[in-house]
A = this chain, B = another copy of it.
Amino acid sequence: MTKSRLEAFSDGVLAIIITIMVLELRTPQGHGWSELIRLWPTLLAYVLSFIYVGIYWNNHHHLMLTVRRINGATLWANLHLLFWLSLFPFVSGWVGESRFAAVTMTCYAAVALMAAVAYTILAAVIVRADTSNHLLADALGSDTKGKLSLVAYVVAIVSPFAGQIGTVLSGLMMIAVALMWLIPDRRIEAVLEREKRS
């Protein structure tokens, strides 16, 4: 089974997710600056979600670079990841329209957490699918960034229950994780580079 169609389908789904989020930016009724400014929570949520989906596309791209063989379980683990990512437009729009209400912040962080869990499962399934995928296992090594993200997501899920300051903390956590991941996964690039040389 080749991985090219898996990549093509995932690219398609991710491209659509990242693009239809803009539909949550509904055309304002009026046409002055105030109408635009009133949109800032939706715009901010859009920027953040765009970065999140971009990060997943980036990491998915790196993950697949190392893969040599996929099986049926990989297909479903991949669809499972895409499912959680497909909820980003929904939670993103909700966070924006509710102007960062506590419940919506919790939901946003929960979707991010589930996507991270699904990504971890996908990586594990790929490693198990074939011993020739050992490159990936090496590259993942001790996944500090991944573990930090999980902690941040849990904080972002729980903190909105602690009132206004908790909601702000939740938002800061989500922004911090995005910034941390903006740096592409050099671990995998490094291992591939080493492999090529040897």
Instruction: Report copies per complex.
Output: 4
- In the assembled complex, the CB of A138 is this many whole angstroms from the nearest CB of chain B, namely 18
Question: Which residue of chain B has the shortest Cβ distance to A87 in the bound complex?
Answer: B22
Q: Which residues of chain B have C-beta atoms less than 8 A from A171's C-beta?
A: none
In the complex, how many residues of chain A place their beta carbon closer than 8 angstroms to a beta carbon of chain B? 60
Q: Which residues of chain B have C-beta atoms less than 8 A from A33's C-beta?
A: 103
Question: Which residue of chain B has the shortest Cβ distance to A21 in the bound complex?
Answer: B86
Q: Which residues of chain B have C-beta atoms less than 8 A from A31's C-beta?
A: 94, 97-98, 101, 103-104
Task: Supply 30 A–B pairs (Cβ within 8 Å), ascending by A.
Answer: A1-B65, A1-B189, A5-B11, A9-B11, A9-B14, A12-B16, A13-B15, A15-B15, A15-B16, A18-B86, A19-B86, A20-B22, A23-B23, A24-B27, A25-B90, A27-B90, A27-B97, A28-B94, A31-B98, A33-B103, A36-B107, A50-B79, A50-B86, A54-B79, A57-B79, A58-B76, A61-B75, A72-B184, A72-B186, A76-B182
